[in-house]
Amino acid sequence: MSSEVGQQHPLSIYFAVWVGLFIVSGLSYATDFLQDGLMRWGLILLFMFVKAGYIVAIFMHLKYERWALIYALLLPPGALLVLVGLMWMESDYTWLTRIEYFGEDPYAVAKPVVH
């Protein structure tokens, strides 16, 4: 019989990541004081990905896995993010083409008629 024991990680790593998650969550909540816009939403998404990365890497032990498994788990969502970014870049073109084809913007606010 073998008496091998699994690998034990020091608790200091978990405490450090917990403190890091606490700080990043505080920064994420601090974005509520920013004005609406791309800066705010970009920071919210950045903090969301940082927190998810901490959790997946340390608490789900992905940091200690083989590179093939890491690539198999991270490349498909990365490819989806690239495709969503391409669709976002294309959205203005299709919207402007629709306005050019159909005429004026169907969602524009109607101006009051003054007689």
The pLDDT tens digits for 3-14 are 666 667 778 888
Q: Would you mind telling me the total number of residues written for the chain in this entry? A: 115
Which has more confidence, 113 or 44?
44
Same domain (yes/no): 52, 100:
no
| Lookup result for tokens 């024991």 | 5
Which has more confidence, 77 or 93?
77
Distance CA 101, CA 112 (A): 25
Query: Would you place residue 20 in the very low, low, confident or very high pLDDT band (cuts 50, 70, 90)?
Result: very high
Query: Would you place residue 23 in the very low, low, confident or very high pLDDT band (cuts 50, 70, 90)?
Result: very high
Same domain (yes/no): 25, 41:
yes
Residue-range definition of the domain harbouring residue 95: 66-104
Q: Is the pLDDT of residue 2 over 60?
A: no
Q: Report yes or no on 40 lying in a domain.
A: yes
How many Cα atoms are found within 13 Å in the side-chain-facing hemisphere of 40? 9
Same domain (yes/no): 59, 13:
yes
C-alpha torsion angle, residues 98, 104, 108, 114 (rounded to 10):
180
Distance of CA 88 to the CA centre of its chain: 15
How confident is the model at residue 59, as a pLDDT? Answer: 81
Report H helices in the chain: 11-30, 38-54, 67-102
Distance CA 48, CA 53 (A): 9
Which has more confidence, 102 or 40?
40
For the chain, the domain total comes to 2
How confident is the model at residue 101, as a pLDDT? Answer: 79
Distance CA 46, CA 54 (A): 12
Q: What is the mean pLDDT of residues 36-46?
A: 90
Distance CA 53, CA 59 (A): 10
Distance CA 77, CA 93 (A): 25
**Per-residue pLDDT tens over the stretch 52-86:** 888 888 888 777 788 888 788 888 988 998 999 99
